[in-house]
Amino acid sequence: MATQNSTTFAWRGIAVSPGIQIAKLYIHDPAQTTIPSHFIRRAEIEPEKRRLVEAIELARHNLVELREKVRQTLDEAHASIFDPQLMLLEDPLLIERTHLRIDSQQNAAMAFMSVIQQFADEFASVSTDSYIADRKVDILDVGRRVGHLLSRGLPALRPLQFEDDVIVLTMDLSPSDTAQMDHRHVKGFATELGGPTSHSAILAKALEIPAIVGLGHVMQLAAQGQQAIIDGYEGLLTINPSPRELARVRRSRGRHLERERELQKLRNLPAETLDGYRIELGANIELPIEIPHVAAHGAEGIGLFRTEFQYLERNGLPTEEDLLAVYRRVVEAIAPAPVIFRTIDLGGDKFIYDLQPQREMNPFMGLRAIRMCLAHPAVFRTQLRALLRASAHGNARIMFPMISSVREVLEAKAILEDVRRELRAEGKPFDEKIPVGIMIEIPSAALCADALAREVDFFSIGTNDLIQYTLAVDRGNEQVASLYDPFHPAILRLIRMTIEAAQREGIWVGLCGEMATSKLSVTLLVGMGINELSMGPLAIPEIKRHIRELRLSDARRITEEVYALRSMTDIGDYVRQAERALQRPRRKTPIIGNS
């Protein structure tokens, strides 16, 4: 591009770590290392196998050191990001498969890289989920490390060092790249690939470095050393900004910082309306490394711990002890606050080969979540044993997903009861009073909420699926995204029915879908009498502020008026107008200590 060095261009990706920075671009291409591949003589087979074992051991040693460095700079939770890579390096199958290739006279580097690619492909083929794609990066990173060590004569992989501040632009970043970089000068990460759950995204957030992933083909348009702005709030990378653009961004950065400072003051205050109605705010997380974000953003507990990922990030099923270690770490870290563990919601768009060797035609309507667990009772029992045992170490709750009938609840509870008897007989302690709840995310469950409420201790409304199943709109299909509307009267009626049924039966009712992150929806949910809202930690401060500026009496009135409206546009417009008309007084934020 002739104008590449003078024209401003902006590229949008997925914002994964907030913040705005202005610095020079550093374009990093780790794939540039070529690993020498050739065939060897028969006499070289055994020495080559020994070199392989030595290289794997050295790579393991280097990763252990890196893990320790992250543990010291951040904490144990973030250091554990490297555990799956260490597990991979200890997997006997890795050496076995590579040896087979060396036996057919491939050199160790060539053999190892092919096996790693095979592992990565097998892993990615189990699902199209972005989480899986992100784990593939970790596997390929292991290949790059060992491949490098096997390539005699290549300089050792060195962490990137910089003299000046830079924004690193690269195709993809492995967690080891992210952790090893010189953090004094790296002011931002921007990658062409990657999703919001990538380990690099999580590390960037923990290191408080703005980051954007999934930018697409931007590297071909950028040049080394160009000035750039990374906007980790908007997910925008601007290259060669004009003086006007720079001034605008500096002002915007000032406003964001001011807002964050204000929101931070609310961290330890309750989400309570001006007239004293208290809502619990919980965090949705999926990995133990996210634990520090829960309290940091002012959540009072974990309203949804998605448990699928311990099944997705390995070959084969996890054991009871594997699961117990994770669950125990989470409840201990969050205690005395509660953690709602949702039993596995596999199927749908999260497949694992061991449970579903064959693809279904319509997986969201198929053997998903509780249906999968009831079809594989041994797998379900293993998870329930681990959850019950973890409950002895903190405040755990169990929640069954995708319930469509009372019969399913009774079946799941019968298995849970049997597992309890088994643990009692073995003398293994657990919380005898552990609350058991269900997700309301299928219209039939909302319609039968009164009968279901008599069988469980709590509900959590899963609007992500409730909207998809009620409106027959695939939640992941962009072509019908405009039909996916939480303000559809049918959705509001189902939510209201669920809350009223829960209130009549005297059980607690929360909501853990994305709808909890929209201020307009929250006004209606407060008006309907919801007890709890659970969401990604980053969304919590804004929602807390919104609730603290709301009056329950106003929210109730708006909600009543909305029931009379017929279309989603009318409802959205009405709530917006009603909120503006309230002209709420800004509540003074008390200055509190830095606890």
Tell me if 306 contacts ligand PEP by CB under 6 A.
Answer: yes
**405 interacts with ligand PEP by CB under 6 A:** no
b/e code 210-241 from CB counts within 10 Å (16+ = b):
bbbbbbeebbeebeeebebbbbbebbbbbbbb
- Considering the candidates 199, 293, 393, 488, report the single residue annotated as catalytic: 199
Q: Out of 462, 486, 529, 541, name the contact with ligand PEP by CB under 6 A.
A: 462
Among 175, 394, 513, 537, interactor with ligand PEP by CB under 6 A:
513
| Binding flag, residue 290, ligand PEP (CB under 6 A) | no
C-alpha separations of 125 from 83, 136, 290, 310, 351 in Å: 22, 10, 26, 17, 9
CB of 145 vs ligand PEP, minimal distance in Å? 33
Q: How far is the CB of 227 from ligand PEP (least distance, A)?
A: 39
Q: Pick between residue 94 and residue 281 the one whose CB is nearest to ligand PEP.
A: 281
Separation of first and last alpha carbons in the chain? 52
Chain positions 333 to 352 lying near ligand PEP, rule: CB under 6 A, are 345
Q: Is residue 211 part of the contact set for ligand PEP (CB under 6 A)?
A: no
Q: How many chain residues bind ligand PEP (CB under 6 A)?
A: 10
Closest CA to 449 of 487, 496, 515: 496
Of the candidates 313, 441, 485, 554, which one interacts with ligand PEP according to CB under 6 A?
441
Cβ atoms of residues 238 and 9 within 8 Å: yes
By CB under 5 A, is residue 465 in contact with Mg ion? yes
Residue whose CB is less far from ligand PEP, 175 or 513? 513
Three-state secondary-structure class, residue 163: coil
Of 149, 197, 153, nearest in space to 536 by CA: 197
With CB under 5 A as the contact rule, which of the stretches 46-54, 248-256, 454-462, 534-542 interacts with Mg ion? 454-462
Stretch that binds Mg ion, among 50-58, 286-294, 388-396, 438-446 (CB under 5 A): 438-446
DSSP 8-state code for residue 429? -
517 lies in the site for ligand PEP, by CB under 6 A: no
Active-site residue flag, 199:
yes
| Closer of 172 and 345 to ligand PEP (Cβ) | 345
- Which of Mg ion, ligand PEP, none does residue 513 bind (CB under 5 to 8 Å by kind)? ligand PEP
- H-type helices in 287-369, by residue range? 291-296, 309-312, 320-334
Task: Tell me whether residue 349 or residue 450 sits nearer to Mg ion (CB atom).
Answer: 349
Tell me how far, at minimum, the Cβ of 475 lies from ligand PEP, in Å: 8
Interacting residues of 324 by C-beta distance below 8 A, sequence separation 6+ = 386, 389, 390
Are residues 512 and 284 in contact, defined by beta-carbon separation less than 8 angstroms?
yes
Apex CA 515: angle with CA 510 and CA 519, to 5°?
100
Strands 227-231, 236-239: pairing kind: antiparallel
Whole-number minimum distance, CB 517 to Mg ion, in Å? 15
**Is 512 a catalytic site residue?**
yes
Question: Under a CB-based contact definition with an 8 Å cutoff, are residues 397 and 300 in contact?
Answer: no
Please choose, out of 97-105, 188-196, 357-365, 458-466, the segment that lies near ligand PEP by the rule CB under 6 A. 458-466
- How many Å apart are CA 367 and CA 375, to the nearest integer? 8
The active-site residue, picked from 297, 393, 512, 546, is 512
The neighbouring-strand residues paired with 341 are: 305, 398
Q: What does residue 103 show for φ and ψ, rounded to 5 degrees? A: -60, -30
Residue written as token pair 């509780």: 370
The nearest distance, CB 235 to Mg ion, in angstroms, is: 25
Q: Is 514 in the site for Mg ion (CB under 5 A)?
A: no
Q: Which residues bind ligand PEP (CB under 6 A)?
A: 304, 306, 345, 441, 462-465, 512-513
* Contacting positions for Mg ion (CB under 5 A): 441, 462, 465
Catalytic positions, written as ranges = 199, 512
